[in-house]
Amino acid sequence: MVGGGAYALGKRRGGSESGQADQPGQQAAAAPASGLTDDKMEQLEKLGRLKDEEVLTPEEFEQQKKKLLQSP
């Protein structure tokens, strides 16, 4: 049994060392979880620009971003 565990660990480690094996799965998992619409993305970009231009403080930016991401 010990050999089987070592084999499984080696297989897992071998896939993650290449870097490429993990990327497609990570991207696929991240996309549906975000649930961001194009409209929300545009609004987030606008908020980011306002923060960069120092129209919004970092705290105000975080508050507005939180409201936006929690809205349906």
Tell me the pLDDT tens digit for each residue of 35-50: 789 999 999 999 999 9
The answer to whether 21 touches 15, Cβ cutoff 8 Å, is yes
The alpha carbon dihedral of 40, 44, 50, 51 has a sign of: positive
Residue 30: its pLDDT value, please? 42
> Among 72, 39, 42, 46, which residue's Cα sits nearest to residue 61?
46
The answer to whether 65 touches 47, Cβ cutoff 8 Å, is yes
pTM of the model: 0.51
**Structural domain boundaries in the chain:** 1-34, 35-72
**Token pair for 41:** 């993305």
For 41-70, what is the mean pLDDT?
95
Given a cut of 60, is residue 61 above it in pLDDT? yes
What stretch of H or E contains 65?
helix 58-70
Given a cut of 70, is residue 13 above it in pLDDT? no
Residue 59: its pLDDT value, please? 97
